[in-house]
Structure 1
């Protein structure tokens, strides 16, 4: 099968996690740069990567990369690429763009040049002067970094965090991709309890359950490239069949979410139901001070409220102090808390064993990691 170049875009700080996910799908030709993971694979990877990547933002098909310091170079480089191999005559092909430290700093001008070059290439293949653009969408992106232009087509459509289970949201929702990353970084596995005492919309518990049962996160949604006639529909059917075969929904789960806000609990329960996990996850209204998790060797994975999101400064400090007090009485547990506060460890009452810089949207945060003992090995 023909090889393609793919780019999984990644939030800053999660590139290594996305790369690990790509390798776990069986793709070894992987390169990592800031904000993206590049890999070569056959065309089936377009479907498999969209269905399975939990922490990436989207999957882009790379058409080409070349130096471009002038509009002429951008035009000729773009025109030389095999656009008609992918884009049919009736396709809609809008062009998006971004530029960073490039001599071609006018993004609208670059978008116009790329659009014109693609049209000229399409004219030579289809022998027409006009394209109706009323068919499937192929969103082209021109990304200019320094003197290099990278041309891609978006295979995903709405971002990969749009799993399809979260129709309602609380005031400051955590992205599904970030919640999944937090669970993966905690190394939690089924058989261990997992608790989120600030569960909000229930995103962390739902993502943990999907990881625990090996549910492909894109199983309940559609992707832009599914409508492409230039990509065999059988690839999507085979990828979904594989995903259903790999489900492990017989694994017992011990996952609990709690929140002081009763409205948040209603939203979390609705999300769990939409995800097909209503009977597997437990949610209850309670302040963090009342948290008393059952079992040993569990994980607390949470995104406590903070001033930029919700709550006053005093309320935030109190909640983190209470979380620290609860954790002090759980000697076998581990805790992973995402917070932008430079004072988190001070209020929590303990220095983190490790911190990892992540971005919750545009807010720079640290994932504060407190590692408890691992559970004893089972024979």
Structure 2
């Protein structure tokens, strides 16, 4: 029987099904879709490909143990202590083996507990305990640095503890068990505790920073996550040979993802702001796709393109928050969508538009219902803002 590995990957809320489709396409396995994440199991031999191949996901964790139907205690302190005493029941040998597929450490990492762990792990610190420099005075360079992280969600039941409480006890328990070095920022191993209602599971982090930062080195105040750009392109089902255009490219997140992942296409992008175009050029060059992109300074309301030329428009519209204003959007949106309709191929053309100004967008689509058909609307979380992605077809 082939050795399998279970993953949990975080996804921008709203794009979970899109990410599950990517996993199905690339690994031929089904995913469990949860709010803000997907879970899937693949052979260990393909584990490295998760980070290399999947473009729709932000952070990746390897799941080691599940504790279902967890019985909680009546008090906060007793619950926290329960999670601390759970640590010896975790398969740390497997955790370290799987972690080592993605990361390295100059010394062998012993999965066996340090002497005296039984007594240390039973000590119940106060809830207001804070880690201090004293805890790391015995720094041992032969042992890894770690941090304990907790993600908690209570959908069907109430918890009498906070994520921060569990994080302290869980991390403190690991320190008691292994005598590993504590480092919350420059850690080697991220040990993660997940609590979803009464389902408790434990994993280790694969990614040390979110994959949405890939390719971008020149940021703007409205830089779009690369993972959002990819998911928007994926919604369009881009076919080989089609012309793909981002008419308001900003820092270039969408054009970069389009160029890298749909290489048999013609790619165009542009913006009216020269400063943003400069950032876009820097990012396109950094991603190694500058030679594949035709980039222009233009006005989205007067594109220098012939009628029925573009197959797919994908763009991040001004929200009217950090860029532009909501008052201006009422003039910009109708003009922009009318011009995109002129340039977009009739019947087969598509557009995928992101905006937080949903009221203005819906009014515009109602006004231009003879040009565009709204096929799908996906609510997404963009930097804490409740935005929406609109997938349209040209009539």
Assess, with a 3 A threshold, how the Cα gap between structure 1 residues 116 and 324 changes in structure 2: closer, same or farther.
closer
Match of 1:109 in 2: 165
2:318 pairs, out of 305, 328, 339, with: 305
Structure-to-structure mapping, 1:136-175, within 5 angstroms: 137-163=188-214, 165-175=215-225
Is the CA contact 1:269–1:278 (under 8 Å) kept in the aligned structure 2? Answer: yes
Aligned counterpart for 1:343 among listed residues 345, 353, 360: 360
The partner residue of 1:256 within 243, 251, 268 is 268
Match for 2:392 among 370, 375, 379? 370
Query: Which residue, 144, 149, 155 being the options, matches 1:91?
Result: 144
CA RMSD of aligned residues (A): 2.3
In 1, the alpha carbon distance for the partners of 2:93 and 2:243 equals 52
Task: With the length of structure 1 as denominator, give the TM-score of the two structures.
Answer: 0.80
Partner of 2:49: 48
Q: 1:321 to 1:372 in 2, by over 3 A?
A: closer
Instruction: Name the CA shift for 1:132/1:356 in 2 (closer, same or farther; >3 Å).
Output: closer
Q: Which runs of 4+ in 1 moved over 4 A?
A: 132-136
Q: How does 1:1-379 map to 2 (within 5 A)?
A: 2-66=3-67, 67-69=70-72, 70-87=79-96, 88-89=109-110, 90-101=143-154, 102-122=158-178, 130-132=179-181, 137-163=188-214, 165-213=215-263, 251=264, 253-294=265-306, 296=309, 298-329=311-342, 330-332=344-346, 333-341=349-357, 342-348=359-365, 349-351=367-369, 352-372=374-394
| CA distance in 2: counterparts of 1:171 and 1:30, whole angstroms | 34
**1:120 CA drift (Å):** 4.9
Give the paired residue count. 327
Q: Which moved more, 1:57-66 or 1:72-81?
A: 72-81
Moved more, 353-362 or 277-286: 353-362
Shift of 1:209: 0.7
Q: 1: CA distance between counterparts of 2:164 and 2:387?
A: 33
CA distance in 2, matches of 1:132, 1:77: 20
For structure 2, the 5+ residue unaligned runs are 73-78, 97-108, 111-142
Q: How far 1:136 moved relative to its partner?
A: 6.7
Summarize deviations over 1:214-250 as a string: whole Å, max 9, x none.
xxxxxxxxxxxxxxxxxxxxxxxxxxxxxxxxxxxxx
* Greater RCO (Cα-Cα under 8 Å, separation 6 or more): 1
Q: 2:244, 2:314 within 8 Å by CA — same for their partners in 1?
A: yes
1:79-113 Cα offsets, whole Å, 9 max, x none, are 20112443424122201123333524232331232
Cα distance change of structure 1 residues 353 and 131 upon mapping to structure 2, 3 Å threshold = closer
Structure 1: 5+ residue stretches without partners: 123-129, 214-250, 374-379
- CA distance in structure 2 between the aligned counterparts of 1:92 and 1:113, rounded to whole angstroms: 17
Contact kept in structure 1, 2:149 and 2:171, CA below 8 Å: no
Query: Which entry has the higher C-alpha Rg, 1 or 2?
Result: 2
CA distance in 2, matches of 1:371, 1:142: 43
TM-score by length of 2: 0.77
Q: Separation in 2 of the partners of 1:131 and 1:369?
A: 49
CA distance in 1, matches of 2:291, 2:341: 31
- The question of whether the paired residues in 2 share the 8 Å contact of 1:292 and 1:326 is answered with no
Task: Supply the distance in 2 between the matched residues of 1:27 and 1:45 (Cα, whole angstroms).
Answer: 12
CA distance in 2: counterparts of 1:201 and 1:372, whole angstroms? 27
